[in-house]
Structure 1
Amino acid sequence: MTVFQMPENWFWMVGEDESRFWSSAAGAYVTDLPEAAGFTHILNEDELTDVLAAYGLLGPVVRVPDRVSPAQAEIALFNFDNGGLLANVNAVIEAFPYEPVRIWWRKATYISRGHAYLQALAIEVGLTDEQVDDLFVAAAKL
């Protein structure tokens, strides 16, 4: 009888690299398979990440989400440095001379990575594009 393993408990050989296997359970590469473990061959890390994402699992390619909820964004800002960045962002927004920016921050149903107000805010508080990406990735995990 064939037993189907769920993707969250599976191993994947990516490309032609036989020296390591992606473990869905560990969310990382492993060099040794458990006894009697099977694996699926998959073309590349992008394809594997797409397959796993359909099951809510993380793959080897870190993708920056296009948007996060305001709650996720604020918690990620708080977690960045135990509240300092969030306080700075809130102070900058409150002092911003353009009312639509304040409305956007208070009322948005989501915060979009590519939004012009976010870009301006990041510059204002001194965040690099890489730091903003990292904050979005962290926020999406909440």
Structure 2
Amino acid sequence: MDTALIAGGVVTQVWRDTAKDTLEGVEGTLVEFAPNEVVCGMLWNGSQLSVPTPVTAVPTVVSPYQARIVLLQAGLMDEVEAMMASPDIEPAAKIAWEYATGFYRDSPFINTLGSSLGLTSSQIDDLFIAASQVP
């Protein structure tokens, strides 16, 4: 039998071949499991263990090719191209769109473009994640 220390629904420590009643001076929720059933980082909801869903990191930069493919797939490319063709567009934004070698997630250009498209920060993150998957 293995014993796990649970804090905030997460397994934080595991004692192998140890019953919980043999542990002294340990504060927190102790739960017993079958041998090798539990490892640190697993989630415990009070009755069942689960493995947490991995968090996908938002890339800091994607290539213009990757960005354009994802904008096309999302149905946003025509709107972006219309914005870039507008006489009201800032010249620096047009240069960035046409000549940048990479689009950086934290750049003012990307944040302004996303806002102009009505996208939330989370939606921009999702587009960057999708773009990073384009070969």
TM-score with structure 2 setting the length: 0.60
Q: Is the 8 A contact 2:42 2:51 kept in 1?
A: no
Is 1:140 the counterpart of 2:121? The answer is no
- Normalized per residue, the structure richer in strand is 2
Distance 1:21 1:87, change over 3 A: same
Amino acid at match of 2:77: L
1:8-43 per-residue CA deviation (whole Å, 9 max, x = no partner) reads xxxx94525583458xxxxx7xxxxxxxxxxxxxxx
State whether residues 114 and 120 of structure 2, in contact with CA within 8 Å, keep that contact through their aligned partners in structure 1: yes
Task: Give the counterpart of 1:91 among 82, 86, 92.
Answer: 82
**Which structure 2 segments of 5+ residues have no match?**
1-37
In the TM superposition, what are the counterparts of 1:1-142 in structure 2 within 5 Å?
13-17=39-43, 19-20=49-50, 60-80=54-74, 84-95=75-86, 96-142=88-134
Kindly tell me the number of residue pairs found equivalent between the two proteins: 92
Q: For residue 62 of structure 1, give the secondary structure of its aligned residue in structure 2.
A: coil
Q: CA deviation at 1:97?
A: 2.8
Aligned CA RMSD, in angstroms, stands at 2.1
- TM-score, normalisation: structure 1: 0.57
**Alpha-carbon deviations, 1:56-101, whole Å to 9, x = none?**
xxxx111111110001101111111xxx311101111221431111
- Which structure shows the bigger proportion of residues in helix conformation? 1
Instruction: Name the SS for the 2:59 alignment partner.
Output: coil
- Percent identity reads 35
Amino acid at match of 2:80: V
Tell me, in whole angstroms, the C-alpha distance in 2 between the residues paired with 1:92 and 1:106: 13
Q: After the TM superposition, which of the residue ranges 96-105 and 68-77 deviates more from structure 2? A: 96-105
